[in-house]
Amino acid sequence: MKLRKITAATAAVLALGLAATACGSSDDDSDSGSSASSGGGGKIKVGIKYDQPGIGLKEPDGSFSGFDVDVATYVAKQLGYEPNQIDWVETKSADRETAISRGDVKFIAASYSINDERKAKVDFAGPYLLAHQDLLVKTDSDISKGTDLNGKKLCSVTGSTSAQNIHDTIAPKAQLKEYSGYSECIAALQNGAVDAVTTDDSILAGFAAQDKYKGQFKLAGLKLSNENYGIGLKKGDSATLGKINDALTKMVSDGSWQKAVDANFGPANYKNDPAPKIGDIVK
């Protein structure tokens, strides 16, 4: 009898332990957005740029702004996450594939152009914006085509191929100037140290739309390349890929996409292409 009493008591303790374990089995494992289907009380980590006005910018008060931020916020909402459940993670261009493969973020929206080399490492939803390499010049500039850059000073950031491509293919007499960041290029354009700045038109429009630069610059509208911006995520995560593509489609159809374009690029008179269709990559 004594043995039976001990066994019954032990069984009761075990049952209570198993019940407690079951109740606590939903530990928050969504730090990188692993529960992206529901959100709940967890968090999702999203990669963006911190230093591109109009695209992805960390403001002095710690908030975030830009077209990519608006797109990512909309997508996260469709995945079940409120804005206060998003942890924004700075992902510089050289670190994007590593951040995804390592699980530092669930997805990245950071002026991330889709190309074959990147597609070998990560999957892409979208595209959600078709950008183009262009020139930013002063509003009174007479530069209207690539050949006008011959004898002019053309700025881009160190390591970028944008200015070199123009020099090699369009304006061999252009004087190339390199700075560590686009902010320095824009400041140089403002004070006359350079005659033009080149990179994606969306990035240039974002800078030109800043209050301190409004009315001072214009885009040349040359469309020197096609840059299909996509949302990068871990290779093989087809479930999340499908949900993000659905979210992007909905963002366009309900007008939120155009509203975000106008809010972030409109002050620079950015003439955007229509929203691209999912999977439609323009070469």
Q: Which residue has the tokens 């591109």?
A: 52
Taking CA atoms, 28 is separated from 37, 39, 104, 164, 205, in Å, by: 14, 10, 15, 48, 40
Strand arrangement of the beta sheet that strand 86-90 belongs to: 86-90, 44-48, 107-108, 227-234, 122-131
Q: Cβ contacts of residue 260 below 8 Å, gap of 6+? A: 67, 70, 71, 74, 251
**Residue 24 or 160, more confident:** 160
User: Residue 132: what pLDDT?
Assistant: 96
Query: 0.85 cut: is pTM over it?
Result: no
Residue 38 binned pLDDT confidence (cut-offs 50, 70, 90): low
* Per-residue pLDDT tens over the stretch 106-144: 999 999 999 999 999 999 999 999 999 999 999 999 999
Q: Domains for the chain: give ranges and CATH numbers.
A: 44-131+228-268 (3.40.190.10), 133-219 (3.40.190.10)
**Is it the case that residue 1 has pLDDT exceeding 50?**
no
What's the rounded mean pLDDT across residues 34-55? 80
pLDDT at 28 over 60: no
Supply the pLDDT for residue 40: 60
Residues 176-231: tens digit of each pLDDT? 999 988 999 999 999 999 999 999 999 999 999 999 998 999 999 999 999 999 99
**Nearest-CA neighbor of 163 among 136, 190, 199?**
199
From 54-63, 73-82, 158-167, 218-227, the region with the lowest mean pLDDT: 158-167
Q: Does pLDDT of 11 surpass 70? A: no
Query: Can you give the pLDDT at residue 18?
Result: 36
Backbone angles phi, psi at 71, to 5 degrees: -65, -50
The CA R_g of the chain, rounded to the nearest whole Å, is: 24
Nearest alpha-carbon partner for 139 in 208, 200, 193, 185: 208
By CB neighbour count within 10 A (0-12 exposed, 13-18 middle, 19+ buried), where does 13 fall? exposed
Q: Output the 3-class SS for the chain.
A: CHHHHHHHHHHHHHHHHHHHHHHCCCCCCCCCCCCCCCCCCCCEEEEECCEECCCEEECCCCCEECHHHHHHHHHHHHHCCCHHHEEEEECCHHHHHHHHHCCCCCEECCCCECCHHHHCCEEEEEEEEEECEEEEEECCCCCCCHHHHCCCEEEEECCCCHHHHHHHHCCCCCEEEEECCHHHHHHHHHHCCCCEEEEEHHHHHHHHCCHHHCCCEEECCCCCCCEEEEEEEECCCHHHHHHHHHHHHHHHHCCHHHHHHHHHHHHHCCCCCCCCCCCCCCC
In angstroms, rounded to a whole number, what is the distance separating the alpha carbons of residues 151 and 174?
A: 5
Question: CA 85 to CA 209: how far, in whole Å?
Answer: 29
- Pair of tokens at residue 263: 């809010």
